[in-house]
Amino acid sequence: MGNSVNVGIIGASGYSGEELIKLINRHPHCNLQLITSRQYADCPILKIFPRFGDLDHKFEAPNISKMLRSSIDIFFLALPHKVASEFAVPLFKAGRKIIDISADFRLNDKHVYRKYYKIEHQAPELLTESVYGLPEINREKIRYSKLVACPGCYPTSILLPLLPLIRENLVLTEDIVICSGSGVTGAGRKVEQPYLFSECNESYRAYSPVGHRHQPEIEQEISKAAEMPVKINFIPHLVPMNRGMNSTLILKLNGNVTAEKIAECYNKYYNDEKFIRVLSENVMADTKHISQTNNCEIGFAIDAETNKLIVTSSIDNLTKGASGQAVQCMNIIFGLNEYIGLGD
C-alpha cells in the first residue's frame, strides 16, 4: 500500500462527519475517495460545507455493493447507533478495516446495549471482534484491529485521567463521582428544542443524571482496569458553547497518597504522549486550551480535609472526543506517524 491510504466516510453530514472530512482532506497520506449521506446524496459537498473550498466531491448515497467493489482501505462510520451495524457487518466480512464513531461496538455485552439503547444489537457477533479505540491506553490492540470502536466523548474525557490512577491503585473504586459538561455539538446535528439557541444560550443544566448511555461504557473500562465490577455516579451537563468538554472527577484516595505520587503516575503513563498535557498541581484544565485540537488537558488537586483527589480534564468533543481520535487510530493501524494530520 505504501504511504497512501484510501478512505471512505460513511455518514458525513453530521458534526463528526464534517470534522472527519476536514482532517482526512488535509492528511498527507490519505486519499478521500467516498463521502456518503442519504440526506444530501448527489449534492456537492461545497454546497453543504462551503469551508472545503478545494474539495470537488459530491455526497453519494451509501451503497454497500459499491463499497465492496471499491479500492477503499478503511471506512469511517459516522452514523447513528444501529445504523452503523448495517454497514459494519458486510464490510467486516469482506475484510475491510473499519473505525466506528457510533456506539454500536463500544459495549462488550449485548444485554447492556439493549438496556441503554432500547433496541437489540444488530451484530452481536462482532462485539468480541471490536477493539476499544483509546490510543493512549489500547495502542497495541488497535494496531492489529479490523474493527475499532471509538470511545464516546464523555468517556474519553473521563477514562484518560482516571485509568492510570485505577491501574496504579492510587484511588478507591467506591463512590466515584463525575460531573461533565459538553458543548452543544455533542448532541449531534439535529433540530430538537433543548438544543435551539434560545433554549441553551445563557443556560447551564444537568441532564440524564441517572442512566446516561455513556455510563455503562465508562464503567466497563474502569472495571477492566480495576479487575472488578465498578459503579459510578455520572452527571452530564449541557454547556452553552459550540464545542469543548470538561470533566471533574471526585475520587477517594487510597491511603495517604501525595500529590507527588499522582504526578509520578501521570508521568509514567503520559510523559511521551503528545496529545496528553498534565498540568501542575492545583492548575485546572480549561476548554479554551484544547479547542479544535486532539489534545487532552489534565489537572488535579488534593483536598487534605477529605482525603479526596479532584481531577479535571478538557477535550474537544469533536476532535479528541470523536474524529481526531478516529484519525489517530487510523494512523496507528497503517503504521503512520501517529500524530500526522493532527497538529495544533
- As annotated, the active-site residues are 153
**C-alpha triplet 19, 37, 214: angle, nearest 5°:** 55
The per-residue DSSP string of 209-262 comes to -SS-TTHHHHHHHHHHHHTS---EEEEEEE-SSSS-EEEEEEEEBSSS--HHHH
What dihedral angle (degrees, nearest 10) is formed by the CA atoms of 254, 257, 259, 262? -50
Q: Which residues, at least 6 apart from 151, have a Cβ–Cβ distance to it below 8 Å?
A: 106, 132, 133, 134, 159, 217, 221, 321, 325
Buried b (16+ CB within 10 A) or exposed e, 46-57: eebbeebeebeb
Tell me the HSE value of 201 on the side-chain side, using a 13 A CA sphere.
3
Cell of 237: 451537563
DSSP, res 95: T
